[in-house]
A and B are shown apart, each in its own frame.
Chain A
Amino acid sequence: MKKTIIFSALTVAGFAAGAAAAGTLDDVKARGKLNCGVVTGLAGFGAPNADGRWEGFDVDLCRAVAAAVLGDGDAVEFVPTTAKTRFTALASGEIDMLARNTTWTFSRDVDLKFTFVGVNYYDGQGFMAPKALGVSSAKDLDGATVCIQTGTTTELNLADFFRTNNISYEPVPIETNAEAQQQYLAGACDVYTTDASGLASSRATFENPGDHILLPEIISKEPLGPLVRHGDDEWGDVVRWTLNALIAAEELGVTSANVGEIGNSTNNPEIKRLLGTEGTLGEMMGVDADWAAKAIAVGGNYGEIFAKNIGEETPIGLARGLNAQWTNGGLMYAPPFR
């Protein structure tokens, strides 16, 4: 991992300039494969299953983009990245896009020169503690030892939270989610902090999930979404509108089951434009006319992907909450397809 950082750091610029000039969309088409950066393993969001096939909420977005561009949801090379290596991997052109619970922040957008194309999960940082500890609020954590994934926004939020509440803590920086879980379970730290969705995902993999509680405080806003490099707007549009297509599909009632025929049978012009049976949206973007239909056919619309990977029926058990459609009181809102 150290090697990757140093090597990529030295070659970062070389690739970045080349990739930006050529156009990522053309590169991906020529290669016939999408290089998609994902987590090294977080149940529900991105992890290889028993057969070695990558599955998860973020992984399905990679597959949808691959289907939209190449017509094949399996034409994806998944590149596992850690919190520390993800940005270098993207900047160096090792990956075409990053779909990996990454928080959209000002400095990442402006200073690191990345473009966040949207939000696929509205999250916030929370705390998990063993029930035996008898803690009911994060404000009771004065003097606690906190396990934390290093190189993430959580590190900064944590420092801010404890400073604002004028209480102290001891950080235990950990490289990956798996190690953090191990340390937390061994009692080497009192609480584990990361995005609330990540905590729920971790807790689901514990032997006795009932022994651990998520504290009520959510101490930050963490809009997680896919990102691409600055300066390649055509490629950014493809990823952005693929995500929007999945969100709009749920709102418009297009599912993986009916996506094959609804384009012809419906009277709704927006569905027709979305699925390419009317208008030239695909052509404008440089992909096939039925790009959105292919993307939706892979894993379903946004709601289906959510329910299948992290929804309340899964071990992760996350409620839709903020991530419901705007029509249902949530924040998921796709701009119009016209």
Chain B
Amino acid sequence: MTTLTDPPKGAFRPSMLLYDSRYRSLTLQAIAAIVLGLCFLYLYSNVAANLRAAGLNISYDFLGNTAGYDINQTLIDYSSQSSNWRAAVVGILNTLLVAFLACVTATIFGVLAGVLRLSPNWLVRKLMAFYVEIFRNIPVLIWIIIIFTIMTAVLPAPSAFRGENPDSTMLFDLAAFTNRGVYIPGPYFTRGFGAEGNGALNWLLVIAVLLGSLFGTRAVTASANAKQAATGLRPNTLWVNLGIWFVPIIVVLFALGLTWDYPALKGFNFQGGLKVGGPLIALWFALSIYTGAFIAENVRAGIQAVSKGQTEAAAALGLRPRRVMGLVVLPQALRVIIPPLISQYLNITKNSSLAIAVGYADITATLGGITLNQTGRAIECVLLLMLFYLTISLLISAFMNVYNNNMKLKER
């Protein structure tokens, strides 16, 4: 496209919108925007007119009505008398929980498999290639169902733990693995805040103390680094760090009166303790290994993008292979790995909507499933679902892009 160095003087004529390259692109974009706007307007008026003709209207009043159904996994208080809105929030929290857990484990699986796929060991290399190809090329829904089916078929039902000589016994009398989920001892506080010591305030306090310890140890490490840089002698920080980690948290837990609630077979199910439901485990594990296979390929690509000379130079300095990987190769590879990793985190969050296949009560199952069916408000529910997934995806994307900007090569 040519641009004139000395634009001709003269009045603006309408024909220039089409024939002058300075204005033509603007004209075309304006036309495209108007056409797009008209399309949306048509779609909206069509939906509105047809809804009117069918005697329906768009209304979100149903969110305040009583939900009337129960949910098997609730992170906040919920009963069948709660509102549809609360049921939706329960679903949102469940979605976020499984997405967060799966993102963490998928990253671990992915990095391990990606690094091992480049291992000099033939067997390890081929095993990892096998894992990646198998899991990447079969749809995640099928993995979710396979894992859930295996879980329910292989693990014993709670009734197998009953009787004088039960078919199954609890592990060390602490944990029970059943086809309804895993029951483990649950902590609670006898002197804590809130009813029966289960208030969220207790856990916020514990998290705050742990965060304080984290910053404390970082400060200690920083001062040790400064001292080493100044004098060449590194002070021993191990005992100080251990103290900072353990003393405050033990004091706080003792003050709150930490005790454990053990699961025990009562009636039909195990009661007490913490229950990690079978659907959550199946969904979490399936999403992790499936997405882990994709992340493994990202990691492999990232590592291979780092020049071989870097590895050789590091080895020439006498570093062991593990330190070469950890100190030289992976930090540089991260710049290639992080951008596609963002997409994988988005995929995990969106794929968690397959939860209904195993009866996990995520947002698609509560708001987009039962609430939608019981109220018949399909358009409203689906719009809310779209809004939720869009918001979550954009948030993940934003956070990961901030991280990416910190990690990427800074050119000055």
Contact = CB atoms under 8 A, between A and B. Distances in A.
Interface string A252-279: 0000000000000000000000000000
Interface stretch (B66-74, B102-110, B132-140, B390-398): B66-74
A327 interface: no
A14 B49 CA distance: 9
Interface string B347-386: 0000001001101010011001110111110110010000
Interface stretch (A82-90, A208-216, A220-228): A82-90
B269 interface: yes
A171 B54 contact: no
A108 B376 contact: yes
Contacts of A6: 382
Interface stretch (A116-124, A180-188, A283-291): A180-188
B54 A17 contact: yes
A320 interface: no
A12 B51 CA distance: 8
A183 B152 contact: yes
Contacts of A12: 50, 378-379
B359 A190 contact: no
Interface string A28-58: 0000000000000000000000000000000
B269 to A, nearest CB: 6
Given A87-B376, A173-B361, A155 B370 contact: yes
Nearest to A6: B382
B153 A174 contact: no
B288 interface: no
B356 A170 contact: no
A335 B382 CA distance: 42
B69 A159 contact: yes
Given A9-B379, A111-B376, A14 B50 contact: yes
Interface in B270-328: 271, 278
Contacts of B97: none
A143 B267 contact: yes
B373 A83 contact: yes
Residue from B79, B179, B373, B374 having most chain A Cβ neighbours under 10 A: B373
Contacts of B179: 186-188
Contacts of A231: 54-55
B378 A88 contact: yes
Interface string A1-40: 0100110111011101100110000000000000000000
A186 B46 CA distance: 49
Nearest 4 pairs between A and B by C-beta? Answer: A13-B50, A187-B157, A159-B80, A151-B373
A13 to B, nearest CB: 3
B267 A150 contact: no
A236 B352 CA distance: 41
A82 to B, nearest CB: 10
A155 B364 CA distance: 17
Contacts of A188: 152, 157, 179-180, 278
A141 to B, nearest CB: 8
A28 B156 CA distance: 53
Given A13-B53, A231-B55, 5 more contacts: A13-B54, A150-B373, A159-B70, A160-B68, A183-B359
Contacts of B382: 5-6, 9-10
Contacts of A151: 369-370, 372-374
A113 B56 contact: yes
Interface string B70-86: 11100000011100000
A158 interface: yes
A144 B179 CA distance: 14
Contact of A158 (B70, B71, B149, B372): B70
A133 B69 contact: no
Residue from A5, A84, A91, A113 having most chain B Cβ neighbours under 10 A: A5
Nearest to B46: A14
B72 A20 contact: no
B376 A173 contact: no
B217 interface: no
A16 B50 contact: yes
